[in-house]
Structure 1
């Protein structure tokens, strides 16, 4: 539950605020964590599948990296239209449709027969998943006042390291089903891990609520307070003149945040997609590999929530992003130099902390200076531009450098450089502000 802070308006009772935020957190947060868990698992389980799939369908490391990265081409193409559609038709219907579609496509990857079918399915999966993550960031801005948002975003985003932490042993175990029902282990992996997404897509249609004013699970007084609070925040942003789609394209802070996000995305998918292959060189079996790969993600889950809680309590965002990116860059350097499994896991743990801890305060920033359609477009634009560099080019470069050099060190150094650049750019964010941005509690949004 987000920490108690001074309400935005002195006449809003603190007890009422605590009660409402507690109820909203308990209702929304666990469910969307599970949804993001499945989203991240379905896009990164290809890292485990690649242990044997690459040989079975004739993929080189560079081709595998291209296939992993082409997911983000579709992701970028559909990101902004999907987020605008969510705002128009509502999260409940749109998220349910997306989940049904990407769950089926993820399972269908089990039937890839060569590079062309693998590339096609990954591209279509990117199209289907495009609206989910930015849509959830937008959705949280409908339900949580700004002063609570970094922590709840962190709780939501624990799903990414949780997906690697819990999904890795499961994926490793599924890989051992080689030959069962005349299917490869990697085919079982895609089939089994895609099915829950389809089922929860149906559940989402009935469980999600689009806006606070529609929340019958809140008492009338609670519903009125939250609706009024969120309306006051929207009105404040509209007063700043940043509520239309084109405002997102004009604001240079959107571009700067996209570049920062690109570094964190490069790191996130380097670990999510390539870590199993990197760790495998130390001789672990599939299930043991899954357990070892879970360690850096467990460390990230614990530390990123504490980092976001501190960001919310201080109201500071910019330096929380910069320091986390710096730590991630150092961790990747350690992983690149590692000649022992313990050093590799330590480096990946530090990198995992920094990559994941940077994101909640980063995603708290755009909704402080954008609202309405501009917020929907701005969040999607940051996500799309960041994913173009980090999600598309990152896996491709790592795969190409692996084929050229024979190991993964150069690829990890490349990832480290992008994270260190993100640290520098996020430190510059304050200079890019057009006007002072302060959170609902009155603390500075960026210092």
Structure 2
């Protein structure tokens, strides 16, 4: 029997246990991510009124939206390494308290400079949440189950954008109450839940299976042994125990390139779709919020139903390539059609947002172990998230210079097609071992 098959058998988690883990862990993690995304993206709805009240231009808004990702990327790897040392419960609680406080403080920006500073601080505070959860899931789920768990976690983005549009629109209509602008109410009311939920995370989130009160001791120990065997096999196969080996792994950089193009698209849609909708007709803030939420319904359906089909390496790669092509097609439809058809094109693209994202992270995580796994996931997310800086910044410049934000969608489509071509060369760890074995045998 080959080593990959034995490893797979060793790390297989019984279906009832896997269902229990999903039921106990994912609801809280999804709620955390919902609040996280509300607080990092609510400036999309605040854009119009902030530009009037503070004189922030489209280019300055795009830069400020993107600056979040510079400090987020800078602190990703250190944050993930700290979490690997101190545990998820403490570190995620710390992240939530600091980002919640800074989200509330966004209500008191006075111009472009303070806007830039607060976005930089918010990025530093929230750094490590997403790769930290990706690392945390490796403590509970084997490779076969991880794409499904990641897909459920990414539902938080969908829920945030479905709820965030109408909620943000309603909060903007509080304009003038108690002397606050509507955008100030938006930041305060959406920032406070992060601080409150941090105490729930501290009380309820177990660091690992053996610290979960709802798992029998023998069951928890058996799960940790299975996953330790899987991680050890991955590390021994690729020598990926330290950050130096991660940086030298071409597959990791290929995953980063694909993720970068993916994030370009997601954050451009998040930060600019409300403005595009607002310019296409005379809509109230609440109606703009409702229309902005429609693509995220499609994204939620995709995230909830499709990642579970990525049950093998070859199927994961085909789904990844197909998803990126669908995203590119949706962007082209949005760029070259009427507003109604364009919104349908964005919905088409959004249906694959988190199918693609949940699959991307299975490739580097199948090759790494130990501190390399923590640092490697941080590296992929931090470099990939630079797309969150580049996308809104370039989109703001395009909108200001051409007067038409839709022109930037064509550039996004090209980037996604490049990512699809690169995805054909991605390999899971077990595939890489099989390829290496065949290459040795053919040269013998």
Q: TM-score, normalized by length of structure 2?
A: 0.93
1:225 matched residue in structure 2? 222
User: Alpha-carbon deviation of 1:224?
Assistant: 2.3
**Distance (whole Å) between structure 2 residues aligned to residue 321 and residue 315 of structure 1:** 10
1:252 matched residue in structure 2? 250
Give the alignment's Cα RMSD to 1 decimal.
2.1
**Distance (whole Å) between structure 2 residues aligned to residue 115 and residue 285 of structure 1:** 26
Could you say if the C-alpha distance between residues 355 and 181 of structure 1 is closer, same or farther in structure 2, counting changes exceeding 3 Å? same
The answer to whether the aligner puts 1:215 opposite 2:217 as a matched pair is: no
Could you say if the C-alpha distance between residues 287 and 428 of structure 1 is closer, same or farther in structure 2, counting changes exceeding 3 Å? same
1:61-119 deviation line (CA, Å, top 9, x unaligned): 00000000000111111110000000011000000000000011111111010001000
Aligned counterpart for 2:147 among listed residues 150, 172, 192: 150
The answer to whether the aligner puts 1:365 opposite 2:401 as a matched pair is: no
2:180 matched residue in structure 1? 183
2:389 matched residue in structure 1? 392
1:154–1:308 Cα contact (<8 Å) kept: yes
1:337 matched residue in structure 2? 336
1:16-42 deviation line (CA, Å, top 9, x unaligned): 812221221111101100001111111
User: Alpha-carbon deviation of 1:434?
Assistant: 8.6
The answer to whether the aligner puts 1:139 opposite 2:144 as a matched pair is: no
Question: Which runs of 5 or more residues in structure 1 are unaligned?
Answer: 1-5, 439-447
1:47-74 deviation line (CA, Å, top 9, x unaligned): 0010211221111100000000000111
SS state of the match for residue 143, structure 1?
coil
**Distance (whole Å) between structure 1 residues aligned to residue 145 and residue 358 of structure 2:** 11
1:147–1:315 Cα contact (<8 Å) kept: no
User: Alpha-carbon deviation of 1:314?
Assistant: 7.3
Q: TM-score, normalized by length of structure 1?
A: 0.92
**Distance (whole Å) between structure 2 residues aligned to residue 287 and residue 212 of structure 1:** 43
Matches within 5 A, 1:272-421: 272-283=270-281, 284-312=283-311, 316-340=315-339, 342-388=340-386, 390-421=387-418
1:80–1:377 Cα contact (<8 Å) kept: yes
**Distance (whole Å) between structure 2 residues aligned to residue 437 and residue 376 of structure 1:** 25
1:98–1:129 Cα contact (<8 Å) kept: yes
Could you say if the C-alpha distance between residues 326 and 380 of structure 1 is closer, same or farther in structure 2, counting changes exceeding 3 Å? same
Matched positions, count:
429
Could you say if the C-alpha distance between residues 45 and 227 of structure 1 is closer, same or farther in structure 2, counting changes exceeding 3 Å? same
User: Alpha-carbon deviation of 1:429?
Assistant: 1.9
SS state of the match for residue 369, structure 1?
coil
